[in-house]
Structure 1
Amino acid sequence: MWLGTLYALAAGLIWGLVFVGPLLLPEYPAALQSVGRYLAFGLIALPLAWFDRTALRQLTRADWIEALKLSAIGNLLYYLCLASAIQRAGGPLPTMIIGTLPVVIAVCANLRNARRDGRLPWLRLLPSLALIAAGIACVNQVELQALRADANADVRRYAIGAVLAIGAVACWTWYPLRNADWLRDHPGRSPRTWATAQGLAVLPLALLGYIALWTFMSATGREFPMPFGPRPGFFIGLMVAIGLFASWVGTLCWNEASQRLPTALAGQLIVFETIAALSYAFILRGRMPEPLTLIGIALLIAGVIWALRVKPVPVANVESCSAH
């Protein structure tokens, strides 16, 4: 349990970095950042695949199709929505919308995977979900107040950013549930191998996306200098760093956590990503968070600690108790 939690914490700290990328490259289209990140991830996976070649050969055609689906939705589409949302609404608002993931995933997993993982009793789960939801609401309130106080704020742009962030939530609710299904159905397979397989699967998708984007921008007469934009060195370095740490190392840590923890509990631990992303966003802003924001973060942490105390109950026991 605790080792799985530490892996989830490591994944959250690493994944928080992806929220900073769009803020560091505001002039770069979100689509270019998405395909650039996963092109880097796929290229990094190639040499790693050599070390895992024996295990990768054991994957079936169905396994590779699943890796392709996970890469397309949980990687490319998710990051496209997220980067677009951050560029339109800034860092904290999309971060807090993404912060609803622990609640959304826990509820979906509790409804969907109870027979496999055991059911986290709703009454015992409710306080942790309430604490997390309250924490998200506190931070959201601060950002909305700042938006209302800014006379130059583009409310429509912020609203579109919020909708795109909700799209990212949908992608990343689907991803960990399906990813955990595969890992739990293949307990003998290495989480490292599965992370590398997803990197290999996303490589052709990202390459095709890059070529399609380059062709589209040339055909429409965009002045953006392709293939690497106005700051090529910084763009390439950032994409490689995010591709290595956030994509491969982060996925590896999350796979290790997913094999050790019930999906409903692992879903709540994504709150570590929210806390890390908020911390990085405020470091980038160069100022301390508002007191209400700090209260919100404290509530999020309290919700996670409470969740760790809740143990899953086998469905048979729950049904037996209900019958009596």
Structure 2
Amino acid sequence: MWAGVAFALAAGLMWGLVFVGPLLLPEYPPALHTVGRYLAFGLIALPLGWFDRAELARLTRVDWIEALKLATVGNLLYYLCLASAIQRAGAPLPTMIIGTLPVVIAISANLRDHRRDGRLPWTRLLPSLLAIGAGIACVNRVELAALGADVDPARYASGALLALGAVACWTWYPLRNADWLRDHPGRNPRAWATAQGLATLPLALAGYAALWAWLAARGSTLPMPLGPRPLAFVGLMAAIGLFASWLGTLCWNAASQRLPTALAGQLIVFETLAALAYAFLLRGEWPAPLTFAGAGLLVAGVLWAVRSAPQKDTGMPAEAH
């Protein structure tokens, strides 16, 4: 279990990078951030696929279709929603909404996968969920207060809706990804991460071409294909593609093979903590005391969840759990 927690922590540290990418290049539209990131992910996956060619050859047509679905929803659609939300509402609101993922996934997995993974009794799960929810509320109260009154309500609301769309995508993705990994326990998590990168590549290429044509049709002044700061764009996309996309997915796959889905879902809280830490580093300031308190509650909730062992169903009514 602790190896799974370590892999989930590593994934969270790398996934936190995606929250600062749109802030580092604000002049780039969210769609270009999305296709740029996953084009880099796909290109990185090509040489990695050569090393995993024997393992990839074992994948069936059904497996590749599943990788394509996961790439579409968990990669492209999720990041398009997230990057758009960050640029429309700023980082705090999307961080708050994405931060609810541990709660949403844990509840979904407890309802959906209890026959396979065992049921985390609600009486034991509830304190963890409450601590995580309270921690997220504390952290984001500070962040939302910093926004002030100079906010366009319509733009802010659209950012909130897009962040909810990202939550929906990333509630579906880990549940579906865990299904495949648990159904194929002998498969290499690295190869499955690479397969998702290879499945993403044609989608990202098509998206890049479509975006370029759309911008040209609109008479956009954005210089394509690499925008106004090509070196910064290529470097950032390569870093996020390697660390957040491929290596983060590899670590998450390894965690998903070792942990019940309900527990793994709560460990996505590490992504929220990492995103907040990177945001404060980018600002060059220390978090407020309430932010520290919120981070402590998040960590306490995670530790409580890890200590709770799932109970296998015994055919008893749900109330007995």
Range class of TM-score, shorter chain: over 0.9
Cα deviation digits, residues 79-135 of structure 1 (max 9, x gap): 000011111122222112100000000000000000000000000000000000111
Matches within 5 A, 1:98-247: 98-147=98-147, 150-247=148-245
Q: CA deviation at 1:157?
A: 1.9
The match for 1:288 among 269, 286, 289 is: 286
Matches within 5 A, 1:37-116: 37-116=37-116
Letter in 1 for 2:208: Y
User: By how many angstroms is 1:320 displaced?
Assistant: 9.5
Amino acid at match of 2:260: P
Structure 1 residue 144: Cα displacement: 2.8
- Supply the RMSD in Å over aligned alpha carbons: 1.4
Contact in 1 for aligned 2:13/2:271 (Cα 8 Å): yes
Cα shift readout 1:18-67 (whole Å, capped 9, x = no counterpart): 11100001000000000000000000000000011111111000000000
For 1:125-155, what per-residue CA distance to the aligned partner results, in whole angstroms no more than 9, with x for missing partners? 00000000111111222233233xx343223
State the distance in 2 between where 1:119 and 1:163 align.
31
Deviations 1:141-196 (A, max 9, x none): 2233233xx34322322221111111100000000000000000000111011000
Match of residue 305 from structure 2: 307
Q: For 1:296-319, what per-residue CA distance to the aligned partner results, in whole angstroms no more than 9, with x for missing partners?
A: 111111100111110000011754
Shift of 1:251: 0.3
Letter in 1 for 2:17: L
SS of residue paired to 1:119? coil
| Matched residue type, 2:103 | V
CA separation of 1:299 and 1:229: change in aligned 2, threshold 3 A: same
Assess if the C-alpha contact under 8 Å between 1:139 and 1:292 holds in 2.
Answer: yes
Looking at structure 2, the residues matched to 320 and 113 of structure 1 have their Cα atoms a distance apart, in angstroms, of: 14
Distance 2:316 2:213 in 1: 57
Task: Give the Cα separation in 1 of the matches to 2:87 and 2:155.
Answer: 9
Q: Structure 1 CA distance, aligned partners of 2:92 and 2:250? A: 26
Preserved CA contact (<8 Å) 2:92 2:144: no
User: Counterpart of 2:173 in structure 1: which amino acid?
Assistant: Y
Looking at structure 1, the residues matched to 202 and 150 of structure 2 have their Cα atoms a distance apart, in angstroms, of 42
Retained in 2: the 8 A contact 1:92–1:281? Answer: no
DSSP-derived class of the 1:315 partner: coil
Paired letter, 1:144: L
Moved more, 288-297 or 298-307: 288-297
Partners in 1 of 2:312 and 2:187 — Cα distance? 25
3-state SS in 2 of match to 1:120? coil
Q: Which amino acid aligns with 1:258?
A: S
Kept in 1: contact 2:103–2:129 (CA 8 A) = yes
What residue ranges of structure 2 are gaps of 5+ in the alignment? none
- Listed one character per residue, the Cα deviations across residues 212-266 of structure 1 (whole Å, up to 9, x for unaligned) are 0000000110111000000001100110110011101000000000000000000
Could you tell me which amino acid in structure 2 is paired with residue 40 of structure 1? A
CA distance in 2, matches of 1:92, 1:32: 22
Tell me the matched-pair count: 321
SS where residue 158 of structure 1 aligns?
A: helix
Residue 282 and residue 321 in structure 1: after superposition, are their counterparts in 2 closer, same or farther (change >3 A)? closer
1:320–1:137 distance in 2 versus 1, CA, 3 Å: closer
**Partner in structure 1 of residue 9 of structure 2:** 9
Quote the Cα distance in structure 1 between the aligned partners of 2:277 and 2:264.
21
Among all aligned residue pairs of Structure 1 and Structure 2, give the percentage whose two residues are the same amino acid.
74
Q: Aligned partner of 2:5: which letter?
A: T
Aligned-residue offset at 1:321: 8.7
The aligned amino acid for 1:104 is: V
Amino acid at match of 1:165: A
Secondary structure of 1:316's match?
coil
**Aligned AA for 1:312?**
P
Q: Compute the displacement of 1:291 (Å).
A: 1.6
